Structure 1
Amino acid sequence: MRNTALLIVDMVKDFTDPEGLVFYPQNREVLPKIKEVLEECRKHDVLVIFFRHSYRKDKFDKNLINMRPNCIEGSGGDEIDSMLEVDEKKDYVIRKRRYSGFFGTDLDLVLRENKIENVIVVGTKTNCCIRATVTDAYYNDYNAYVVSDCVATNDEVVNQVHLTDIRKYFGKVVTSEELYDLLGKGEL
């Protein structure tokens, strides 16, 4: 296995399905490209980690005070979109309740156990979950690569502002084609 992991952030039904509680069309648009990246990473023996944003049913969570309820366990809204197949034997699925995939989860332990140095980040909410995960990856000394055509938020200007900040301060921003080139050359 390479020293690289693909982090698929919160591509769950409440975000990706038109019937989802916090759906926006941009997530549906990036799903096919994320699926391509997932398949390409698997060809190159990249560790795959899915994040499943999931709040506990009928339990208090500070995050839900200021936002619409979403991604509640047992509702179906916190299930990974069926377009992205999870390999139960190889992939990790990590539940999270905060924006960062590192906060309150065992992500760092999983990455270190698998000798991961580089993380490829795709998924939803560039301004929240992507940015927070990449920031924490930076602080934990991982090299972060955000795939620009595989992330989304509900406003393209906001999306670009956060990609610009990530590129400037926290990691690299690449297109899926640039990612495939890096994987093919063995640079990731």
Structure 2
Amino acid sequence: MANKALIIVDYTVDFVADDGKLTCGRPGQKIENNIVGLAEQFVADQSWIVLAVDRHEKGDRWHPETKLFPPHNIAGTHGRDFYGKLETWYQKNRDYPRLYYMDKTRYSAFAGTDLDMRLRARRVDEIDVCGVCTDICLLHTLVDAYNLGYKLVVHADAAASFNQQGHDWALQHFKNTLGADVVGGE
């Protein structure tokens, strides 16, 4: 039996709320219950949960995203709070011993972080991924996880993007190029 970890990527106000700084809007809002349901399931199974949250510094002109996107998920702002029911779930479960909240400063949750080391120390060999955006941060996280040798599961009904074409392409890429199990489609 696999030792699993659920990685919830960037499900924050700035990426999901109508007034978020870089929102995917309605597609991201529609997956709210599915993400919280997965989190509840992983707690019930006593599995690991990683909350990977994008973090940027105000006025950081050196970060490569500065030229690509408007400022978002700025440290110390409400935009970094979890969106909707996930924030409520997080407040209720923040002491769950298998929960790891982590900041990330690149698309991938593995780039420049200790995530791989933490997962290996806990003998995790399967990574389940959900969140936003499918064709950006989920894509880069999954490519890194693939290159590190993890078994991959993508929850399609708990992933979204502001680009439907990119979302659809990424799901096919996960399945056909990374060998991921893509589950829970529409």
Corresponding residue number in structure 1 for 2:22: 22
Determine the C-alpha separation between the residues in 2 that align with 1:95 and 1:79: 12
CA distance in 1, matches of 2:166, 2:64: 24
Do 1:57 and 1:74's aligned partners in 2 also have CA atoms closer than 8 Å? no
Report Cα offsets for 1:101-157 as digits up to 9, x if no partner.
100111101101111000000000111101110110000011110001110011322
- What is the identity, as a one-letter code, of the residue corresponding to 1:56? E
Root mean square deviation, CA, Å? 1.8
Which segments of 5 or more consecutive residues in structure 2 lack a partner in the other structure? Answer: none
Alignment of 1:1-188 (within 5 A): 3-23=3-23, 24-60=25-61, 61-84=63-86, 85-86=89-90, 87-89=93-95, 90=97, 91-170=99-178, 171-175=180-184
Runs of 4+ in 1 over 3 A off after TM superposition: none
TM-score (norm 1): 0.88
Instruction: Letter of the 1:77 partner, please give it.
Output: G
Q: TM-score, normalised by structure 2?
A: 0.89
Query: Structure 1 residues 58, 155: CA separation in 2 closer, same or farther (over 3 Å shift)?
Result: closer
Distance 2:68 2:174 in 1: 26
Q: Distance in 2 between matches of 1:153 and 1:67?
A: 14
* Count of paired positions: 177
